[in-house]
Chain A
Amino acid sequence: DIQMTQSPSSLPASLGDRVTITCRASQDIGNYLRWFQQKPGKSPRLMIYGATNLANGVPSRFSGSRSGSDYSLTINSLESEDMAIYYCLQHNEYPFTFGSGTKLEIK
Chain B
Amino acid sequence: EVQLVESGGGLVQPGRSLKLSCAASGFTFSDYYMAWVRQAPTKGLEWVASISYDGGSTYYRDSVKGRFTISRDNAKSSLYLQMDSLRSEDTATYYCTTDPLWGQGTLVTVSS
Contacts and interface: CB of A to CB of B under 8 A. Distances in A.
A47 B59 CA distance: 25
Contact of B102 (A44, A89, A99): A44
Interface stretch (B9-17, B40-48, B80-88): B40-48
Contact of A96 (B50, B62, B103): B50
B92 to A, nearest CB: 13
Chain B binding surface, main DSSP class = strand
A12 interface: no
A95 B47 contact: yes
Given A34-B99, A43-B95, A95-B61, A100 B50 contact: no
Contacts of A49: 99-100
A43 to B, nearest CB: 4
Interface string A13-33: 000000000000000000000
Contacts of B50: 94, 96
Nearest to A55: B100
A95 B62 contact: yes
A93 to B, nearest CB: 10
B104 interface: yes
A100 B40 CA distance: 13
Contacts of A99: 44
Contacts of B105: 43
Nearest to B99: A46
Nearest to A90: B47
Interface of A: 34, 36, 38, 43-46, 49, 55-56, 87, 89, 94-101
